[in-house]
Every structure is written in structure tokens, then in C-alpha cells.
Structure 1
Amino acid sequence: MRLLKYEDNGELTIISFEDDAVPPYAILSHTWGADTEEVIFADFNTGHGKDKFGYRKIRFCGQQAHQDSLQYFWESAFRSSRWFKRGWTLQELLAPRTVEFFSEEWEKFGDKVSLQSLIRKITSIPHEALNGAPLSQFSVAERLRWKGDRETKPPAYSEGAASAFGRLMDEIHTQERCVQDVRHTDPRDDKRRIEETKGGLLADSYRWVLENTTFQHWQQSPHDQLLWVKGDPSKGKTMLLCGIIDELKCAIPRTALLSYFFCQATDLRINNATAVLRGLLYMLVSQQPSLVSHVRKRHDHAGKALFEGPNAWVALTEIFVDVLRDPSLRTTYLIIDALDECATDRTKLLEFVAQQSSTSDRVKWIVSSRNWPEIEAQLERAGHKVKLSLELNAKLVAAAVAVFIHRKVDQLAEEIHYKAVTRNAVLQHLTSNAHNTFLWVALVCQNLKATANRHVLKKLASFPPGLDALYKQMMDQMSKSDDAETCRSVLAAAAVLYRPVTCSELVALVEQLESVSDDVQEIVSLCGSFLTLSI
């Protein structure tokens, strides 16, 4: 690549660089004047052109680049077009981080940030794109609309422009189908659903991890690529990872890739190793579309069947390894939550993570799980890893639970109109008996939400401390019901289900429900928090 340099003596020189050694540089993008007044490449070779009007523009660019601490620059001009009407404006507006606008008298009148609304009005390019959002976030159809009536030099295609454009669109549609077939679920939607189900993400309940020395070591170390977050059930691992994801979005460079997946044992879509790799891969190719070439090597022949059936895991692991080895892969963060809830092929997934987390210093991994020996044994094989134990950070977890308690009590007080004495009593009881367990707080608050204001204090005293004792109480209450036998049969059937079932399917599975099929929802509600009915 050739760049211009404005020397200290005022002379312009052309310097060549290899493609992998191009330094930062500025581009002078302007409209073409009269042919006789614009400086062309031959003028630099012969030393002529200094008396041309266009030379003033180039000299100004060199001086401005020097003021911006840049040694090199280039000039880009196109004949017979105005700046905001030519085709190359798109790349010159979107690609650079900074675009500054100057008048013909070299007076600066703004940049693409300060003039964003005006540029949006003129070009129809969304604010997000002007602010540097990855173009992969916008559909092909939307990006084509940005082209509008821009003028570009007609391409010299022997087949004709229309035919060439048709081939281009066919290729784009083929690639889009490939990405659609990779998608089994969108982890971004799963994250939002999980956060909403758990009552929303509280920043103060997870930010302790940002100051944690283990987390900071993993984040800053060039050698330790894998972070394993481990803890007992209901200690807030999933919401902790949701918070880490949000923080990484803000902290990492805009060119970096962030891909994640949330395993849930009760959801057939996201409880197996194949689904995990498909989810991670889908987010990667969505953010860096060039990576889809590794998928298409196989998908162009096999289609969607590539990701289904007994051979899907083999195909996906080979594709994923190719992606991780791609020289163009940008800095990448891969996050997998709840490895213990990967019900199918968990061992294969653990082996894959342990092996691949040590192969590239451009890829950082975070995984979370319960304190299961089998998971620890597999992850011990990873060459470069650190562990973050929630039990060893009990005081910080307790503070996070306290934040959660205050949030839930405030919500109850507002919805049920607690008096101050009632609110304080609820806050005190939850704080004293939660045992640093988010789920215990959530279950008690769920029960209190259905309790009349006048009965809250009496009801509060009935909740035992700790999750095990609370579960036992729920079972005892269910056993005293007139429908206890039916409830036990429903729970027994639910315990061995491979996937969630509809009410009609539950009736077919549980014989006792056949005579009370109209009351299935009521029976399910008698099972307490052990079952959830989605309507």
C-alpha cells in the first residue's frame, strides 16, 4: 500500500508498505475539480503539480494529519460527483473511527459525531452505524437502502451489471440461509428471558466480581485463558455471568467478539452439547461474517442436516476448531453458563472446552457450574485456567444477596402497600434466614406476594431458614392437601420428563388427572414452586 508523507521541509513523498505493516493514516476525501487542477499520481513521480489548485488540498491534509499526530495520509477523489452523493461515501463514513469535515477554506465545521443528525438526514444511515456498530447488526436489505441514489463508476462486467448483481444477491442469500441454519436459539434472547424470569439484573449484586483479584487476573493475564466460576446451587452464578457479559460489552474493544450460551436442563433446546456449540457459533458468525466460510465448506453440501442427528457434534467441533484457528479471528470471549445443566453429552463438551481453551491466546473463556467433582476433573485438564469459588467469596456473595433482598422487599412494599413496620419485619427475616441463597429469597417473596397484607407477619414466621428446610416445608404442606396423592404422582412424572409438557400431555401421563382434567392448573399450583405453569 502507498501512503503520502508530508516531510518537515514541506515536500510530499510516497512511501510503500506491506499489507501487514500499514501504519495509522488519514484519508482526504474530497470532490474532484477540473482535470487540469487536480494532482495525479504521475505528478508525484515527476515532481510537478505544486502549482495546481488541488495541491493545496493535499498539503492541507498533510498538515492536518500532522496536527492529529499522524505521519501518513492518502487522498481520495472521484470525478463528476458530490461528496454525499457518491458510492464510496459509505465506506468513508462508516469505516474510520473519526471523520472530520472542512470547508473549502480549510475551516473545520464538525465531525461525524457532532453532525450525526444532519448526516443521518442526508444519507439515511442510522446513528448506530455512524457510531461504529458492527455492520453485521444490519440486514443486507437495510444496507442496500443506504446506497440510495449514490453515483459510482459502472463496473466493467462482461456479463453485465444486472447479472453480476444477481449473482451477488444469490451469494448473500446462500450465506444468510447458512447462518439461519446454524441458529438453534439466539442466546441473546435466552439471556433477556432469564433476567426477566429472575426479576431483572441488579448491577450492585454482581459488580463485586469486577474487583475480585481472580477475575482481574484472568482478564489481564496473557496466559490464563479459562475462568471457571463454581458454586453451590442458588448462589447466583447465572445472574453473575449475565452481569459479566454486560460489563464486557462495555469494556472490550468494539472489534472484539463476545459469544455466550446459557444451559438449562429443563429446556430441550438448550440442554445439550450440540446446542451449546451452535449457539456460540451463531453469535460468532453474526458478529464476524467472514467466519461463516468455515461453516459453508460443509453446509453447502449437507444443508441444515449438518447440524442434526448423531454426527452433528463431530461436524460442529471440526467447524469450531477451524474458526478458533482462523488467523482473521478477532479477540474473542466465549462464555458458557451452567455446565452442570448440559444434560446430553456434557462429558464431550467439557473435554472440548478443556482442550480448546488452551489453543489460542486470542480467545478467553468463562464457564460456570456447580461444585461437581466430575466437572472439576475434566476442567483440570485445561492448561491455562483459574478458578473463582463463590464459597471462598462468601462475604461478597452475602452482600450481593443483601442487595437482592432490598430490591425484592421494596417491590413487595410497593405492590402490597406494606406499612413501615411490616416492611422492616420482612427485610429483617429475609436477611437473617436467607443463608446467602438467592433462590430462598425468591421463593419466600413469591409466597409473600400471594399473601394478604394483614397476614404477612404471621406468614413470615412460618418460613424456615435455608433452602432445604423450605423445600421440606413445601412438601409437608402439599402432603396435607386433599390432592396429595395426585400431586405426588404429578411430581413423580415431572421428575423423569425429557422435556416440558402441555397440560393435556400431563393428563395423559398421570392417571389420577384423567377424572379431574378441568382442574389441572389448580393441581399444578398445589405443587408449589416445584412446578411452573407457563401460559
Structure 2
Amino acid sequence: MRLLGTTTSLLEEFSGKNIPKYAILSHRWEDEEVTFQDLQKVQTLTDIKKKGIGKIMGCLKSAASYGCDWVWIDSCCIDKTSSAELSEAINSMFSWYQKAEICLTYLSDVQPGVLCDPRGDYGGQDLSFRRSKWWTRGWTLQELLAPRHLMFIDRYWGSIGTRNDLSKIVSQITGINGPHLKNPRAASVAQIMSWASKRETTRTEDMAYSLMGLFGVYMSPLYGEGENAFIRLQLEIMKISDDESIFAWSDSSNRGGGLLAQHPAAFKQCGSIIQYESDPEKPEFSMTNKGLRIEAHI
């Protein structure tokens, strides 16, 4: 894991038990983000002339204010020219967000003045918070749910409120209820898919890869496979889960047919579908080279 020093502004690699306390950034990618290669070319951050340098500097300062000497930022802490490193990062990302001291969730399109009201009584000030594009991105779903502690930050790096403080409005925006905000893996497969149903990713494959951590599965990313990535994700889920809600989707435009959905959007009406863990007659199922094999009482 490569981390950026909040005081040194230098990258350093850590592994295993040697990983120090760190903050982690959640944000929406915009124009001129600072990359790993950019940091390799300069002596100091001030030598970087990209627009994204302001985000890096703000993140370092904010992380330091929470007592963290290190921070992880996806745009510049991953060498994306290395397919092996990118694969490791994608498969480790949920864990990295989960283990961070704090997740700084930077909403660049939210102005200062959005106030947290623990009672859940929100006025017009929360409109820009609700309308932030951060809520529409595929990768930010796991970034919302994985961290132990999450602070929402406005465009000038002022604190808006924590995920816990703002749980009511976060639930309204995302459709994720309070208990699942704290323990997302307690939800059914269909429910988790429904949370992602209205989100988007720049690359088709990332819609699947961004959900792996929430389901506790691991896959090698294969950019170029298109919608097949989401099929692969469902097959991997079936290997570790007997939750039949994976078949609860509905999509009249499903071009490929078959038992598996082609996109999380097919689960958009599945937010209330739960699974009954105590059912003694729960059927076993698996996918074979001839199709679905299921054993059930008739």
C-alpha cells in the first residue's frame, strides 16, 4: 500500500503490520487529477500545475488535522500503468477504506453553509448536499459504506458532518436504511444491487468491480470485457452465497436473456427484498456449464 505523507508530501510503500494510521480520501474524479506519474516528476507539490493539486493539498491539511501523518488518495497512490498493481488496488480497496482512521469525503460541488442537524430537521441548506454528483458515482458506494468513520467535506475543506450525524438524509438520498449504513453486508444481494442501480461509472466494467468489496468477492479486472464483468460478479457471489434474491431482478430490456442481470439497474425495485437466514429448506444452487442447478423441495 502506497501512502502520501501529510507533512513530507512524499510517497512511501507499506505492507502488513507496518501500515501506519492513515486517512483516506473519497472524491469524484474531475479534470486534471494529479497522478502517480505527476508526483514522480517533481521535487515538491507546488511544482505541479494541474487543477487537481488543490485537492491534494487540501486533503493533506485536512488529514493532518485529524492526527494522521499519512493519507491514501486513489488518483496518485496507485501506479495505474501497472496492471498487477491496479488489480491489487481494486481488490483491496474496500479493506483499505474499512481500515482507515477516517474517510474524508470531499464534495467539490457543495458550498459552505450546509449544516448538520442531528435531529434530522433539514432546510434548504441541504439541497446542494443532496444534489452532489458524488452520490451518483459507482465507486463512491463502497466508499460510503466501508469506512468506520466518515466526514463529509465541502469544496473549501470545511466539515459538513459525519455519516452518523447525517444518517437520516444519507438514507433518504441513497435508499440505504440506518442499520445497513453501519452493516451493509447484512443486506440481501438484491438490496445491495439496488443501491447501485442508479449509479454510473466511466468504464462499463467498473460497475461490477466497484461492488466486489461489498460482497466480499475477488476478481481479476479485465478491462474490455464490458457487461460480462457484471455477469462474472454474480457468478462469484453465487460461489459464496445462497441468497436467492440474486435472481429477483426484473428488466424487460435485458438483451442477453438468461438468469443473470446485465446491470445493477435491473435491481432498482429490489430495495425491500430481504433473505431469511433461518429457512431450513433453503434451496442450494450453483451455475454449471449447462446452466443453473438448483435443489429444492417440491
Q: TM-score, normalised by structure 1?
A: 0.30
1:42 aligns with 2:37: yes
CA gap 1:13/1:123 in 2 versus in 1, 3 angstroms: same
- Residues 326-378 of structure 1: CA deviation (Å, up to 9, x unaligned): xxxxxxxxxxxxxxxxxxxxxxxxxxxxxxxxxxxxxxxxxxxxxxxxxxxxx
CA gap 1:126/1:15 in 2 versus in 1, 3 angstroms: same
Maintained 8 Å contact 2:22/2:71: yes
* Aligned 1:280-295 pairs, distance under 5 A: none
Where structure 1 has 5 or more consecutive residues not aligned to the other structure, the ranges are 180-281, 284-302, 305-535
Find the counterpart in structure 1 of residue 140 from structure 2: 89
**CA distance in 1: counterparts of 2:176 and 2:156, whole angstroms:** 27
* Aligned 1:51-66 pairs, distance under 5 A: 51-66=49-64
2:12 corresponds to which of 15, 24, 47: 15
- Residues 288-312 of structure 1: CA deviation (Å, up to 9, x unaligned): xxxxxxxxxxxxxxx99xxxxxxxx
1:30 aligns with 2:27: yes
CA gap 1:174/1:34 in 2 versus in 1, 3 angstroms: closer
**CA distance in 2: counterparts of 1:46 and 1:170, whole angstroms:** 42
Question: Deviation of residue 49 (structure 1)?
Answer: 5.2
- Residues 98-131 of structure 1: CA deviation (Å, up to 9, x unaligned): 111111122111111111112111111221122x
Residue aligned with 2:74, SS: strand
**CA distance in 1: counterparts of 2:223 and 2:163, whole angstroms:** 38
Residue aligned with 2:160, SS: strand
Give the AA of the match of 1:175.
Answer: I
**CA distance in 1: counterparts of 2:156 and 2:223, whole angstroms:** 43
**CA distance in 1: counterparts of 2:229 and 2:41, whole angstroms:** 39
**CA distance in 2: counterparts of 1:95 and 1:110, whole angstroms:** 17
**CA distance in 1: counterparts of 2:225 and 2:180, whole angstroms:** 31
Greater Rg, structure 1 or structure 2? 1
1:69 corresponds to which of 67, 70, 79: 67
CA gap 1:69/1:122 in 2 versus in 1, 3 angstroms: same
Maintained 8 Å contact 2:167/2:178: yes
2:193 corresponds to which of 119, 139, 144: 144
CA gap 1:24/1:159 in 2 versus in 1, 3 angstroms: same
Bigger share in helix = 1
* Aligned 1:44-443 pairs, distance under 5 A: 44-47=39-42, 50=46, 51-76=49-74, 82-130=133-181, 132-133=182-183, 135-152=184-201, 153-155=203-205, 157=222, 160-177=225-242
Question: Deviation of residue 73 (structure 1)?
Answer: 0.3
**CA distance in 1: counterparts of 2:232 and 2:155, whole angstroms:** 41
Question: Deviation of residue 174 (structure 1)?
Answer: 4.5
Where structure 2 has 5 or more consecutive residues not aligned to the other structure, the ranges are 77-131, 206-220, 245-276, 279-293
Question: Deviation of residue 39 (structure 1)?
Answer: 1.7
Maintained 8 Å contact 2:136/2:200: yes
CA gap 1:21/1:149 in 2 versus in 1, 3 angstroms: same
- Residues 163-213 of structure 1: CA deviation (Å, up to 9, x unaligned): 44334323433433399xxxxxxxxxxxxxxxxxxxxxxxxxxxxxxxxxx
Give the AA of the match of 1:87.
Answer: G
CA gap 1:69/1:162 in 2 versus in 1, 3 angstroms: same
Superposition CA RMSD, Å: 3.1
**CA distance in 2: counterparts of 1:29 and 1:178, whole angstroms:** 30
**CA distance in 1: counterparts of 2:223 and 2:56, whole angstroms:** 36
Q: How many residues align?
A: 174
Question: Deviation of residue 147 (structure 1)?
Answer: 0.3
Could you say which structure has the greater relative contact order, defined with CA pairs below 8 angstroms and 6 or more residues apart? 2
Residue aligned with 1:177, SS: coil
Maintained 8 Å contact 1:31/1:77: no
**CA distance in 2: counterparts of 1:154 and 1:31, whole angstroms:** 17
Maintained 8 Å contact 1:3/1:74: yes
Question: Deviation of residue 154 (structure 1)?
Answer: 1.9
- Residues 229-255 of structure 1: CA deviation (Å, up to 9, x unaligned): xxxxxxxxxxxxxxxxxxxxxxxxxxx
Identity of aligned residues (%): 34
**CA distance in 2: counterparts of 1:175 and 1:18, whole angstroms:** 27
